[in-house]
Amino acid sequence: MSKARSPWADFAVYALVRCMVGVIQALPLRSAMAMGESLGRLAYRLDKRHRQVACENLAHAFPETMADAVPGGRARREAMARATFIHFARMVVEMVWLPRVCRLTVYRGHIDLGDRPGDLVSLLLSGRPVILATGHFGNWEMAGYLLGLLGFRSYAIARVLDNPRLEEFLKKFRQRTGQTILAKKGDFDRITEVLGSRGILATLADQDAGPRGQFVNFFNRPASTHKALALMALEYDAPVVVCGAARVGGPLRYKLEIEEILEPSAFKHQPGAVASLTQAFTTALERLVRRYPEQYFWLHRRWKHEPPKRSKTKALAPDTGMASAGTV
Q: For position 2, what pLDDT does the model report?
A: 56
Contact between 289 and 270 under an 8 Å Cβ cutoff? The reply is no
pTM of the model as a whole: 0.89
Contact between 303 and 54 under an 8 Å Cβ cutoff? The reply is no
Q: For position 327, what pLDDT does the model report?
A: 35
Q: One digit per residue, pLDDT tens: the chain, 328 residues?
A: 556 778 899 999 999 999 999 999 999 999 999 999 999 999 999 999 999 999 999 999 999 999 999 999 999 999 999 999 999 999 999 998 888 877 777 788 888 888 888 899 999 999 999 999 999 999 998 878 888 888 899 999 998 999 999 999 988 888 888 789 999 888 999 999 999 999 999 999 999 999 999 999 999 999 999 999 999 999 999 999 999 999 998 888 999 999 999 999 999 988 899 999 999 999 999 999 999 999 999 999 999 999 977 654 444 444 433 333 333 3
Contact between 107 and 147 under an 8 Å Cβ cutoff? The reply is no
| Domain extents in the chain | 7-315
- Does domain 7-315 bear CATH number 3.40.50? no
Q: For position 293, what pLDDT does the model report?
A: 98
In whole angstroms, give the CA distance from residue 21 to residue 192. Answer: 35
Q: For position 310, what pLDDT does the model report?
A: 61
Contact between 242 and 277 under an 8 Å Cβ cutoff? The reply is no
Q: For position 325, what pLDDT does the model report?
A: 35
Contact between 54 and 81 under an 8 Å Cβ cutoff? The reply is yes
